[in-house]
Each structure stands twice: as structure tokens, then as C-alpha cells.
Amino acid sequence: MTSSDKPAILWFRQDLRVDDHPALCAAAANGRAVQPVFILDDAAEGEWVAGGAGRWWLHHSLAALQARLLELGAPLLLRRGAAPDVLVALAQEVGAGSVHCSLRFEPAGTEQEERVRSALAAVGVSFAAHSGALLHDPHALRTGTGVPYKVYTPFAKSLRERIVIGDPLPAPRTVRAVAKSPVGSPLDALGLLPTIDWAGTMRTWWTPGERGAQKRLAAFIAGPVRDYDEARDFPAQDGSSSLSPHMHWGELSPRRVWSDVSRSDAGKSHGASKFLAEILWREFAAHVLLNFPATASQPLRPEFAKFPWQPSCVHLHAWQRGHTGYPIVDAGMRQLWATGWMHNRVRMIVASFLVKHLLQSWQEGARWFWDTLCDADLASNTLGWQWSAGCGADAAPYFRIFNPILQGEKFDPSGDFVRTWVPELAKVPSEFIHQPWEAPPMVLASSGVALGETYPRPIVDHPTARDYALAALQKVSGAKSTTRG
């Protein structure tokens, strides 16, 4: 039997789908038998093991993938341990001649691929890692001087000029299983679910898995995408796609999303154009992390390593739990805790508040998001936090400090988002909902609010905190003074 006749192993990673799956198509080529496997290899992830919300999502996404692959005819095997050891043992067990997987671009993912490649080569098994997580190879794009991009606009322009986005690959109708299916671990044995059930709201918000992803994509295309360019900034509206968890876990490929959106009836709208630009932001984040892997924990702009953070367990805990006294911030943090997701506009507001009002390090915020977001993606999380702190690629100007009161009034003018997630303020009139400390005592009393008791007073004074942050940021950046806030 030649190697091409031997069964192939399909190693699932962050590509939990069967649609538009190049590695699956390669493994199953010419009717070859396939053994799908997912390996929980926490040790390989280093300091970036999936957090609690991510593991909850992974459990349910694997359950959905198990059901889908069973329909196709090739059951999914679950195992835990070091991926090189598991794959070598499995290849010998089923007589596989090749292992196929989808490329990952985080530092831990690429290092794992190299260890797997070496281990399989030692036993005569070929290894192929296929594209599928991104629209382009983040190694490929360079500026005119041959260095990686650090600014989004020229990156996106270059990407649009160079790439040709082909048609998504259809899901196979069947996949031939190996002659004797090996024994794996039950899904529950992977220990992905929390021991204390804190995921009640998440279950009502999300349907992890490929079919849930496809349904959400279809609903977005049928409605919100057309007005995405404007509606996406208003957290009380259903104006965003909410596709980020599905894309992070690979339940949807970016090529499928791009194709379906651009070819839809709304594909030429301003909203669709803006949404596709956001897909390119995701590509940019991967490009930056791959080329500057230290940025997961260190600022891209080295001068910011000396920023005078003021670590405070009290301030950090108040921010994490949504008890800062600034309603739009607290609403966002409570939405995150309850659903494993936060509206993008509010992510910027809460991040700015942590690093520029409370002077807590962006690394603390990134860690909290990593543990609580279902869509915790190392590249996007890192880029977003360094943008907010002003220390990374395409960073916000150092003087951009979001005023949480004005942001609330502009993007949640009726206070509906705040009322949803901060119910103790539900009866406060709209004119005071974003600064309840300015409401007359009788208004607060009639609204059932006792500041400092039922809802906290502001943890810091905005003008004072802004001025202190501006002075510190100006000193670090070496820029001239400004009063923008």
C-alpha cells in the first residue's frame, strides 16, 4: 500500500467545521479513509490556555462537530495530551500515512506545528498544514522597504490589491471512516465545562457550532449588514454581526463570510463594505502578532514599557465586576460577565477607562478579556488592547481618552443598554442615566437609587483622571502638551 492509499488523520484545532475546510478536503481526497481527531493539549498553549468562557464554547462546539462528522460517516476522536505524541501513536494505530491540519498563527500554534512535523517525520508520516483561518498568508505582505506593516490602512490597501478570494470549498457529502475506529475520551472527560454553572445567560445567547454559525451569518446578511456602518456603534441595537466567537473557533471560514456577504443583495451597501473592512482588521491583527510575537505581553512601542502604571486591586476588581460608578463602563463589563461577549464600541470605552482613568496596565485588561470572552483571540485581543493603550500597531493617539459620560450619551442616548445590564439604574431618567450623581436627590430617590449603596459613586473623577493620564502619556511619548480628552 502506498502512502496515498493509507488513511489520513485530520487534526482539528481552531477549525471546527466541515464547510470550506482545505485540510479536510486534502485528507479525504480520492475517497481516502479519514480519522478526525481533536487533541486537548493545554501545555502547548503556554500562558495562553483558553479561558473559562472559551473552554465553555469549545465544549459545545466540539459536541456539534461530533454530531456533524457522525452524519458524514467519520466519527470525531477526542484525546488529550501532547499533540506530537498523540498523533504519532494514532498514526501507528490506524496505519495513517499522513496528517493534515489547518495552520494557526499564534506563537504557540506555530511552535506546536513544528514539533508535530518533526515527530511525524521520525516515524515516516507526512504532515501538511493548510490555510483556512485567514484570507491571506500573514508572512507574505511587506511594506515597500520589506518590513511588516504596523499601520492598518496601507496594509488593507496592499491586501486588497494582492489577494484573490476564491470560492469557498463545499462541505463533503460523506467522509470514509477508517476500518476500525480507535477509542477516545468522552467529551465530558476533557473537563472543559465550569464546575460551577455560571453559563446560564451564555446558553441563551449563543449556539456554538457550525450550524449555529451559519444561521447567525444568514440572519446578519438578511438584516443588520446593510446598516452596519452606522448601527454597529450603538450597543442597544442589534447592529453588529456577533460572528467573532464563531470565526475564532473556525466554525465559519473568513472566505465563507467574505463570499456570502459580498455576494448578497446588500453586498454593495456601505454597511457591507464597512463590515468587510473589519474582516481585514482581523487579518491585520494576525499579521502583527505573527511578525511581532512578543506583543502578546509587551508593548510594540518599547518606550511604553516605562509607563507609570498604578496597580490597584481595588480599582481592577471594581472594573472587572462593573462597579466603577460609570454606567456605560459597568454595563459593558456586566454584559461581558453574563454573555462572554461585549459590543465593540463598549470594548473601546471600557479599555480606555481601565488604562487611562484607572491607570491599570493594558496587560491586566487583556488577561481579563482572555478569560471572559468566548471570542478571545490572541491576535485581535492584543491589537485592541495595545490600540487603547496607545502602545501598539496603528495605536490611538496618546491623547485620545474616551469620556465615558459623553460616550454613553452619544452611543446609548436613551440609556437602554445601561438599563439592560445595570438594572439598579433602570428607572433613572435618560438625562441622568450616564451621570446619576448629577441627578437631584428627589429624582434618585424616586428611581430607587442610593449612590454609594445601591449603585457606586464614580471610582475616579473624570477630569482629574484624564489630566493625570495625559501628563503621564505625554511624558512617555515625548509629545507636546494637549488638552484633548
Q: Which of 336, 367, 339 is nearest to 350 (CA)?
A: 336
Question: Is residue 281 annotated as a catalytic residue, yes or no?
Answer: yes
CB burial string 150-176: b at 16+ within 10 A, e below? bebeebbebbeeeeeeeebbebbeebe
287, 158 Cβ separation under 8 angstroms: no
* Amino acid code (one letter) for 219: A
45, 93, 111, 278: the catalytic one is 278
Question: Is residue 278 annotated as a catalytic residue, yes or no?
Answer: yes
198, 258, 281, 437: the catalytic one is 281
Q: Which of 179, 169, 178 is nearest to 8 (CA)?
A: 178
Query: Distance (Å, rounded) from C-alpha 225 to C-alpha 213?
Result: 15
Residue whose C-alpha cell reads 451597501 in the numeric block: 269
Counting beta carbons within 10 angstroms of the beta carbon of residue 461, is it exposed (0 to 12), middle (13 to 18) or buried (19 or more)? exposed
341, 54 Cβ separation under 8 angstroms: no
User: Nine-digit cell at 223?
Assistant: 438584516
Question: Is residue 309 annotated as a catalytic residue, yes or no?
Answer: yes
111, 258, 344, 437: the catalytic one is 344
User: Nine-digit cell at 252?
Assistant: 465559519
Cα dihedral value 465, 468, 472, 473, nearest 10 = 50
User: Nine-digit cell at 122?
Assistant: 521520525
Handedness of CA 423, 426, 432, 434 (dihedral sign): positive
Question: Is residue 362 annotated as a catalytic residue, yes or no?
Answer: yes
Query: Distance (Å, rounded) from C-alpha 132 to C-alpha 150?
Result: 23
56, 206, 368, 385: the catalytic one is 385
User: Nine-digit cell at 474?
Assistant: 505625554
Contacts of 335 (CB under 8 A, 6+ apart): 235, 341, 342, 343, 346, 420, 421
362, 368, 370, 387: the catalytic one is 362
111, 309, 409, 437: the catalytic one is 309
Q: Could you list the active site residues?
A: 278, 281, 309, 344, 362, 385
